Chains A and B, each alone.
Chain A
Amino acid sequence: MYNLPSPQIEGEILAYIPFGDIVYYFSPYTLVLFIFALTFTALAILSRPEKQVDIAFGGDAYYTKEIPEKQMRFQRFMAISCGLATMAGVTTGDIFNFTLLTAMVGICNIGIVASVKNKHVLDNAYEYGILAMIGTLPLFGAAAIILATTGTLSLWEIFTPAVSVPVIAKALLVIGVIGEGMAPVYVAKAEITRAPGAPYVLMIHVSSLLMFLRVVEIIISM
């Protein structure tokens, strides 16, 4: 019943967890991605935020910027949600579930960036937000076209050779994930990596990277 039709892509199935119509699974490939996401979520839970150091000119004085307690808690919440969404996203066995989780990763990334109180960073967060919002159309559009043309949403069925997915759906799925995973570009532009609260920013990069790796696997297997 639950066998991956082409084990040369991501290996044999290790385990599966059925939730009704949505069946999650671990293959060697998704297991590695899952462990990555788990590690970085644990880091976000455990680590303390960095404090930016400013050095005063003309003397030995330096001081650290204080991060408000509330902002730290909020960023940690967003980073952990993002980690959980990524963990689910890399192991899911349903195309619509995958697109929803990608959208959730996008919103969490907006949240992590938007909490920094800096006009430049906020500008970038807004630009990214617009991109993430219009990016949901290719995502859900791809899932809807796949549902209409193949009659199923389950990756187990879609991966079988008998089911052929139209090119437009594959391309839209990839461009949708690119739209939601574009955050690192804006993060680098805004230099938020050097802004207060740095460990949580790591989650943006990790989640985008893992979602990309996962969508590549899905597209190849289709």
Chain B
Amino acid sequence: MTGIIRRISRILQNHNNLVGVYAFVVIAIIIVGLLLQSPLTYDQDQLYPKSIDKNSSLDPYDRGGVPFGQTNVVSQYPENEPYLGYVTAYLTPVSLWISETTRFMGTTIVSHPGGIIDEILYNTRGLDTIIETAILFVAFTMAMFLFTRRREE
């Protein structure tokens, strides 16, 4: 018994083992969690559900609506977003032209302004994106600091 405790304390006292210990704890939590409550049921009443219209040229990102008009978007708090749905329906002139002439707009719509993803990223959950860019900003500042310091020597 004391041997086991001694072994455990020897592992824990070296901070280089902490990552391994952490990974082990996560594995244990997943196994125990699955045993306690399984299966986990999927809630049918999701926000921003995905609907696919195979006949649309904007497939799979067509959520209906015409540019500069409102669309039905299932968001968490519609009362905080009076202009909800306008970004979803918006298409730039270029993307409008592509969608009218070809059937491949769905493959590139994510890179054009407008659409459901932009609605979520810029409007309804805009703060998440601000924090995400801030994280990138901080990480790049750190990498550049280390890089320039190394180079100046």
Contacts and interface: CB of A to CB of B under 8 A. Distances in A.
A198 interface: no
B33 interface: yes
A21 B135 contact: no
Nearest to B80: A18
B1 interface: no
A30 to B, nearest CB: 16
Interface in B15-62: 15-16, 18-19, 22-23, 25-26, 29-30, 32-34, 36-37, 40-47
Interface in A79-110: 81, 85, 88, 96-97, 100-101, 103-104, 107-108, 110
Given A22-B125, A148-B43, A166-B33, A101 B131 contact: yes
B22 A168 contact: no
A70 B144 CA distance: 12
A189 B29 contact: no
Contacts, number: 145
Interface residues on A, range: 35 or more
Interface residues of B, number: 46
A208 interface: no
Contacts of B141: 74, 77-78, 111
A115 B148 CA distance: 12
A88 to B, nearest CB: 7
A185 to B, nearest CB: 7
B139 A107 contact: yes
Contacts of A150: 43
Interface in A101-132: 101, 103-104, 107-108, 110-111, 114-115, 117, 124, 127, 130-131
Contacts of B41: 149
B134 interface: yes
A209 interface: no
Given A149-B40, A185-B18, 11 more contacts: A1-B79, A21-B76, A100-B132, A130-B19, A148-B42, A150-B43, A157-B76, A168-B33, A168-B34, A175-B29, A182-B18
